[in-house]
Structure 1
Amino acid sequence: MTCLRVYGFQCLILSMILLGFCSCGNDQNTQRKKSKKVSESIAVLGALPESAIDPPDNPTNAKKVELGRFLFFDPILSGNRDVACATCHQPEFNYAEFLETSIGVNGSGRDSKRQFLTPNTIPFVKRNSQSVLNAAFNGLTNQGEYNPVLAPMFWDSRAKGLEEQSLLPIKTLEEMRGHSYLEEAVIDEIIARIRKIPEYQVRFSEAFAGESNPVHAKNLAKAIAAYERTLIATNSRFDQYMRGDSNALSFSEKEGMNLFLRTGCAKCHNGPMLSDYKLHILGVPDSQNRKESDAGANNTYAFRTPTLRNLRYTAPYMHSGKFTTLDQVLLFYEDVAGGKVENPHVTAHQIDTLARRMDVNFRDISGIVEFLNTLNDDNFDKTVPTRVPSGLKVSGNLD
């Protein structure tokens, strides 16, 4: 009997200790949840300016923009003359395309019907095709002066400014170069081709008046960049709201914006482009289109925060194109905050702290998506030239 009393007393003490531990854990969890729910202010967001800024050494003019449009849609810029910039950046898809990762060189067909020709030794493009629309505003934040020369480009921010960005796809094997030319030789080959086309000689002379020999790589980049700076959409209903029109958003859309701020989305998706333009490690699953894992910037699995503008037209999402809907993207963030890591090459401690502290719940997703749809603006230039000076297929081999 005495033993039973002692045993009972010990059990009581043990229970009290365990309750104490649970209580402490609950207090810590409560504090953690409270810290998660510190809401960002609407002041971290912003409307886009109505026009883009030119870099000092590339002032725009109508002839330069017209030249850049032709070059953007002309497959003369690719090694095999079968791919144009517009092959993977199509106007109807917000100057992106509806593919997980693109098929560039040695491809045929449009959108989901695009496939490699046979025989084929060209890999898929490494990452999802980012929209060119509003790329003129890359790097624009609410802090500091915007400098178009320093604008971060690509998923890993490996280029600065539209001028530098415009030539890199031409040099990339699977995007535009192909096997016919070495990376260090392909630009010279493209310039030599363009110089043989009388119409391009005239157009370069008009666009860069005063230069005796205007057809060169630097002006090629400037013309394409000048055209891309005209591809902007700056009057979404969100922009109208941020400029003072309180009726531009519905009550539920405003609630969705509050959820967006409260859940922590705006920690990274802020400013007029809803991007902090920083690199973050999230553990997004790899595309299965390539054998090797995509290790991102500096082999750290970090990728640049994308803009959230015009998401309706730019699916699929993330650098690997693994998510086809916005709901899937938000469910991914809910999983990340819950400790789940979807990329086996990334460990839990590598995941960005801001992502781990998000407080996205399934019940909030529809409201957030409703807000994200207010960032869409379909009023942008979709003009496709009926012909290009080379005489090749406009936009490359899409048929």
Structure 2
Amino acid sequence: MKSLPARLAFLAALVSWLFSVSCSREKPAGESRKKKTVETLADLGALPLQATDPADNVSSPEKIALGRLLFFDPVLSGNKDVACATCHHPDFGYAEFLETSIGVNGVGTGSKRRFKEPNDIPRGRRNSQSVLNTAFNGLNLTSSYHAASAPMFWDLRASGLEEQALAPIKTLDEMRGHGFAESEILGVVIQRLNGIQAYKPLFAAAFPGEDNVINETNLARAIAAFERTLVNGNTRFDQYMRGDSAALTASEKDGLNLFLSSGCAKCHNGPMFSDFKLHALGVPDADHLKESDKGAGEDFTFRTPTLRNLRYTAPYMHSGKFANLKQVLEFYEDIGGGKIRNPHMKPEQMDVLVRDLDVNFRDISRIVEFINVLSDDSFDRTVPTSVPSGLRPGGNL
């Protein structure tokens, strides 16, 4: 047995060691401890009830009516078989019920759409985003909103609905096809429109006082004017944010709180529930791709999508890989726990915000319940009975 002095010396040494271990866990002097930021209701917001027009494209009933016809007219595509509405149809919340788009040489609607045979057109790489509320793209709570610079597409390659409207016409697999070069297709489309007598008075009424009124600029302006009418900012969540506390049930409010505490609002914030920034999350590729889709800048980054109207626009993510919202949230649970679902990505490529995600399986159903509150079925579903070209409205559906 140790003597009393020896035991006292041992205890002193033990206390000294424990103290040194404790101190070693403290942050160095001057280094502030980082506290996890949790978003609040103030980081979200209600949508405006109507969109803002850019200064050079003020809306009018005539312009909107023309834009609707053009949106549904397949005369804008190389083979006259695809319209804007083919992949953005009212029946599917102005999106489509497919993982990724089938444009040129396709037939059918929704999950039944397929390529006709023979086929030499590649399938689209990405899921078709809804046109609903795209007039509000870029809207946030911290800076001024400019319709002309609104961020578009999964990779932000276009700004404003006017620029976005012409891009699919020039894209091989979406609307152009093999018959025309990218540099010539818009000229061909304008020549076709000038040759259709019924379009002439419609363009003249939409753009009064202009010479050579049927041109690329006015084609884009008309389509964009129509798309700015496709808004629905009066969901029950919007009503709640405007002061109606009874607009959400207790369970939906619980889901809202879980949505905030889990870190979802770090990217899905503001009135559109999107920061409109690029993030690398390791979303799995669509099954049909031969090469991985590396997104904007070849670094696997894609724009944060809005969470509005998701009830009508499945499947989800840029690859359309997830069939329902439960699968989406399970994906976020995985990446929050360090799992990378895209085998082509390296850990260092993942967005740093992933570290702040804390989605738990037990909370998923309540978060989904809240997200569904962001949907509103009171949007315009009008499909023209005919279009001036005489082709089938919406293309080969």
TM above 0.5, yes or no, is yes
Shift of residue 356 of structure 1? 2.5
Tell me if the contact between 2:92 and 2:110 (Cα under 8 Å) persists in the aligned partners.
Answer: no
Tell me if the contact between 1:123 and 1:290 (Cα under 8 Å) persists in the aligned partners.
Answer: no
Shift of residue 45 of structure 1? 0.2
Is the aligned partner of 1:134 residue 2:114? no
Is the aligned partner of 1:302 residue 2:328? no
The 1:300–1:24 alpha-carbon spacing in structure 2 relative to 1, beyond 3 Å, is: farther
In structure 1, the partner of 2:11 is: none
Q: Secondary structure of 1:291's match?
A: coil
Q: Give runs of aligned pairs for residues 247-258 of structure 1, distance below 5 A.
A: 247-258=246-257
Is the aligned partner of 1:63 residue 2:62? yes
Q: Secondary structure of 1:58's match?
A: coil
Is the aligned partner of 1:110 residue 2:109? yes
Whichever residue aligns with residue 198 of structure 1, its letter is Q
Q: Secondary structure of 2:253's match?
A: helix
In structure 2, the partner of 1:359 is: 358
Q: Secondary structure of 1:270's match?
A: coil
Aligned partners of 2:23, 2:208: CA distance in 1, in Å? 74
In structure 1, the partner of 2:146 is: 147
Tell me if the contact between 1:330 and 1:365 (Cα under 8 Å) persists in the aligned partners.
Answer: yes
Whichever residue aligns with residue 392 of structure 1, its letter is L
Whichever residue aligns with residue 227 of structure 1, its letter is F
In structure 2, the partner of 1:198 is: 197
In structure 1, the partner of 2:124 is: 125
In structure 2, the partner of 1:217 is: 216
Q: Secondary structure of 1:315's match?
A: coil
Aligned partners of 2:194, 2:138: CA distance in 1, in Å? 34
Whichever residue aligns with residue 62 of structure 1, its letter is P
In structure 2, the partner of 1:81 is: 80
In structure 2, the partner of 1:237 is: 236
Aligned partners of 1:176, 1:192: CA distance in 2, in Å? 16
Deviations 1:50-100 (A, max 9, x none): 110000000000000000000000000000000000000010111001100
Aligned partners of 1:25, 1:337: CA distance in 2, in Å? 28
Aligned partners of 1:165, 1:242: CA distance in 2, in Å? 31
The 1:257–1:25 alpha-carbon spacing in structure 2 relative to 1, beyond 3 Å, is: farther
Is the aligned partner of 1:335 residue 2:301? no
Aligned partners of 1:121, 1:36: CA distance in 2, in Å? 55
In structure 1, the partner of 2:188 is: 189
In structure 1, the partner of 2:179 is: 180
In structure 2, the partner of 1:7 is: none
Shift of residue 229 of structure 1? 0.1
In structure 2, the partner of 1:346 is: 345
Tell me if the contact between 1:36 and 1:263 (Cα under 8 Å) persists in the aligned partners.
Answer: no
Tell me if the contact between 1:316 and 1:325 (Cα under 8 Å) persists in the aligned partners.
Answer: yes
Tell me if the contact between 2:314 and 2:323 (Cα under 8 Å) persists in the aligned partners.
Answer: yes
Is the aligned partner of 1:388 residue 2:387? yes
Question: 5+ residue gaps in structure 2?
Answer: 1-13, 28-32
Aligned partners of 1:24, 1:327: CA distance in 2, in Å? 44
Question: 5+ residue gaps in structure 1?
Answer: 1-12, 14-18, 29-33
Aligned partners of 1:324, 1:305: CA distance in 2, in Å? 18
Aligned partners of 1:240, 1:35: CA distance in 2, in Å? 36
Q: Secondary structure of 2:48's match?
A: coil
In structure 2, the partner of 1:291 is: 290
Aligned partners of 2:308, 2:360: CA distance in 1, in Å? 22
Q: Secondary structure of 2:166's match?
A: helix
My pick for the range that moved more, 347-356 or 362-371, is: 347-356
Structure 1's consecutive aligned runs of 4 or more residues displaced over 3 angstroms after TM superposition are 22-28, 34-38
Q: Secondary structure of 1:64's match?
A: helix
TM-score of the superposed pair, with normalisation by structure 1: 0.91
Aligned partners of 1:25, 1:333: CA distance in 2, in Å? 34
In structure 1, the partner of 2:7 is: none
Shift of residue 23 of structure 1? 9.9
Aligned partners of 1:373, 1:155: CA distance in 2, in Å? 22
Deviations 1:186-227 (A, max 9, x none): 000000000000111110001000002100000000000000
Shift of residue 26 of structure 1? 11
Deviations 1:305-347 (A, max 9, x none): 0000011001000000000110110110111011111112211
Tell me if the contact between 2:152 and 2:159 (Cα under 8 Å) persists in the aligned partners.
Answer: yes
Tell me if the contact between 1:36 and 1:358 (Cα under 8 Å) persists in the aligned partners.
Answer: no
Aligned partners of 1:35, 1:378: CA distance in 2, in Å? 43
Query: What is the root-mean-square deviation of aligned Cα atoms in Å?
Result: 2.1
Tell me if the contact between 2:107 and 2:116 (Cα under 8 Å) persists in the aligned partners.
Answer: yes
Shift of residue 125 of structure 1? 1.1
My pick for the range that moved more, 180-189 or 356-365, is: 356-365
Aligned partners of 1:185, 1:87: CA distance in 2, in Å? 22
Shift of residue 37 of structure 1? 6.0
In structure 2, the partner of 1:311 is: 310
In structure 1, the partner of 2:371 is: 372
Q: Secondary structure of 2:279's match?
A: strand
Shift of residue 41 of structure 1? 1.2
Tell me if the contact between 2:133 and 2:232 (Cα under 8 Å) persists in the aligned partners.
Answer: yes
Tell me if the contact between 1:38 and 1:262 (Cα under 8 Å) persists in the aligned partners.
Answer: no
Whichever residue aligns with residue 88 of structure 1, its letter is C
Tell me if the contact between 1:37 and 1:262 (Cα under 8 Å) persists in the aligned partners.
Answer: no
Shift of residue 265 of structure 1? 0.3
Tell me if the contact between 1:36 and 1:359 (Cα under 8 Å) persists in the aligned partners.
Answer: no
